[in-house]
Each structure stands twice: as structure tokens, then as C-alpha cells.
Copies of this chain bind each other. A is one copy, B any other.
Amino acid sequence: MARKLAGKSVVKTPDIRAVAALARVSIATVSRTINGSSAVSERLAKRVWQAINQLNYFPNTHARTLVSGRSRLFGIIVENITNPFFPELIQSFEEIAVAHGYEILVSSSNSDPARLATCIRRMLERKADGVAVLTFGEEEPLLEQLAHHHMPLVLAEFHLNSPKASTILLDYSTGIQAAVGHLSELGHRKIGFLTGPRKLHSALTRENDFRAAIKEAALPSHKSWIIECDHTLKGGAAGFTQLRSLPDPVTAVICSNDMTAIGVLRAAHFEGLRVPRDLSVIGLDDIDFAEFTLPPLTTIRLSRTDLAHAAFDALRQQVEEQSLGAIRREFLVTTSLVVRGSTAPPAWGG
């Protein structure tokens, strides 16, 4: 039907039959040669590979998926592709996946349950072999749906009660403790915290780890020193303003992510405050930009490559491990402090 178009015959892309014909073998032999699924004599294998190269043949993944039930497609759902942390994460995940012969389906939920529902539906329709849910969010009810379809899953910071779900544990406390320790050594006593949206697990965990670190360091704390922001640049700027209006301002602030911290840097500048002289600022993530802010941002590094690796490994184990039982269910990714230029001893107060 599409073979003749305006009288000009169109070359059809070669299929397994064309290869078989050229190599003078059966299509089964071609399939076996490509997949290495069972032994093929060297003589025939050679002829097959020759034919494949000659025709520039590659298998139709859809046909393959249809019969084998495996798509070699991994989904990755992130919170917000517009926060540089996530592209960097996706980039790592893609590299690893492609190196292992997988393709990826990217979606961002934008912390919107309706959008997440669409994402999930798309993953289901495309028959992803597994999905990494790196939204750090509060949309668990929806995830039940994925689990219900027996979709291998890996979640950040959340346990789903499904035999096919594993969890990546994020150890923020190591990095946060280091940050509080660093500030304390510098002489700061009054340290604020700009959290992310509290509906996010990750934000809540970070906040709790901060509280614990403050307590452990025997530093004073005050309710008004912890302010809920939204992990965006604008949110950080707004948070700063709120922080400054306090009767008894802090001398240092730790932010739930780098975007927030960068927002603070900017707002501080506009209000005439010099960082770090008048205020020390620490971020969390260590996005590529962090090194290029003014001043360069001291931050708690959360490795994207570690996270991507953990996510991919978890998924692959679920999918490829037939020895059910030997599967690792929990993966740990840790954090560490990177000291740059946005922290210094307090100029006043202390």
C-alpha cells in the first residue's frame, strides 16, 4: 500500500524474513543468532550476520515486545524537569539504560496528581518493563495502580507494599549534620531552615534531619526559623524575605534544595545583604549551577549518578532476576557537604 507512491516504488525496511532468505536459513535461526538464545553453528551464524550487515537490518522492537512480553523500556518519572537536578539525573539514567540496551520514557509529574495519573497510564500503555518514580512526592495512592499491574517499581524514600517494588533510601542526615557542624564551627548559633513543600517526603525528611542535627549540636532552635518554601527560585526569594522580617534574625540558613538557596542569594543581594558576610547560605543537591552562583554555593551534595545507578540496578534486578528471593529491596544513596563561598563566620550576633 505504501510501497507504491506516485509511481515510485519505495524500499521496504528489511525484516527477519529478508535476512533469512539472504542467509539461506530459517527465520528461527536468524532470531536465535541475534538473541543468542540457543546455540547456532558458527557457519550459519556467520552467514546470518553477513546478511544482517548487508541489509542493514535491525529488529522491530514492537513485534519483539508483542511476542516476548518485554519491551526493554524503562520509565522514569521525575518531579519537575525544570529543576536542573532532574535533567542531570535523567541524563545519567539514560546513559546507563542505553548502555544496557534499554530505552527510557521520561515524564514529569509537576507534583500534580492528575499529571502523575497520566504518566502512569502512559507507562502502562507502552508496557514499560519497570518504572523509576523519582518524584519524592506524596502520590502513593496512585502508585498502587502501577504495583497492581505487576509493574516493577523503584521509589525514592517510600516503601510500597508490593513484591515488585524496591526503595531507594536517601541519607540526608549525614550531609545535613555536616552542614550544621560546619556552620557551628564557624561560630553560628542561630541557623534557619527553608524547607520544601511539606507534602513532599523528601522535604519533610530533610526538615526532620535538620531538627535532629540542631538538637544534637546543642544549638538553639526556634519555630519561626523554619519556613516552608516550594523548592523554586521564587520561593527561595520569598522565604528569605520572611526570614529577614523576624525580630531576631538568624545568621545562617540551610535550604532544602539549591534552587531555594539561589533564590535566597538573589533576594539577599537586593536587600543589600552580603553573602556570606551578613548571612551564610547552604543549599542541597549540588546542581551544576551551584558552582557558578555569586558567591559559589556551599551545598550538600546528592549525587545524581549514584541515584541513577541505584534506580537502574533496582529495576534491572526486578526484571532480569529469575531467582526470586535474591533481590535487593533497598538501596542507599548518601550525601556530603561541599564547602564553597557562601558560608563564613557571622559578622554580628553569632
Q: Which residues of A contact B (CB under 8 A)?
A: 2, 10, 13, 58-63, 65-66, 69, 71, 81-82, 84, 86-88, 90-91, 94, 98, 103-108, 118, 121-122, 124-127, 149-150, 233, 237, 262-263, 265-266, 269, 288-289, 291-294, 296
Chain B residues with CB under 8 A of A237:
292
- In angstroms, Cα B216 to Cα A344, docked, is 49
Chain B residues with CB under 8 A of A121:
58
Q: Which of B150, B233, B292 contacts A266 (CB 8 A)?
A: B292
* Distance to closest chain B CB from A349 (angstroms): 24
Chain B residues with CB under 8 A of A90:
81, 106
Chain B residues with CB under 8 A of A88:
82
* Cβ-closest 10 pairs across A and B: A62-B62, A62-B65, A87-B87, A81-B87, A233-B292, A294-B294, A62-B66, A266-B292, A106-B106, A269-B294
Chain B residues with CB under 8 A of A296:
266
* Contact in complex: B127, A58 (CB < 8 Å): no
* Distance to closest chain B CB from A199 (angstroms): 22
* Contact in complex: A82, B266 (CB < 8 Å): no
Copies in the complex: 2
* Distance to closest chain B CB from A13 (angstroms): 7
- In angstroms, Cα B150 to Cα A108, docked, is 31
- In angstroms, Cα B293 to Cα A237, docked, is 12
Instruction: Look across to chain B and name the residue whose beta carbon is closest to the beta carbon of A71.
Output: B62
Chain B residues with CB under 8 A of A65:
62
* Contact in complex: A292, B269 (CB < 8 Å): no
* Contact in complex: A61, B127 (CB < 8 Å): yes
- In angstroms, Cα B270 to Cα A291, docked, is 13
Q: Which of B61, B266, B288 contacts A125 (CB 8 A)?
A: B61
Chain B residues with CB under 8 A of A104:
106
- In angstroms, Cα B294 to Cα A108, docked, is 29
- In angstroms, Cα B78 to Cα A90, docked, is 13
- In angstroms, Cα B71 to Cα A62, docked, is 9
Instruction: Look across to chain B and name the residue whose beta carbon is closest to the beta carbon of A233.
Output: B292
Chain B residues with CB under 8 A of A94:
106-108
- In angstroms, Cα B283 to Cα A160, docked, is 46
* Contact in complex: B10, A150 (CB < 8 Å): yes
- In angstroms, Cα B158 to Cα A161, docked, is 51
- In angstroms, Cα B263 to Cα A291, docked, is 10
- In angstroms, Cα B61 to Cα A62, docked, is 8
- In angstroms, Cα B87 to Cα A84, docked, is 8
Chain B residues with CB under 8 A of A106:
90, 94, 104, 106
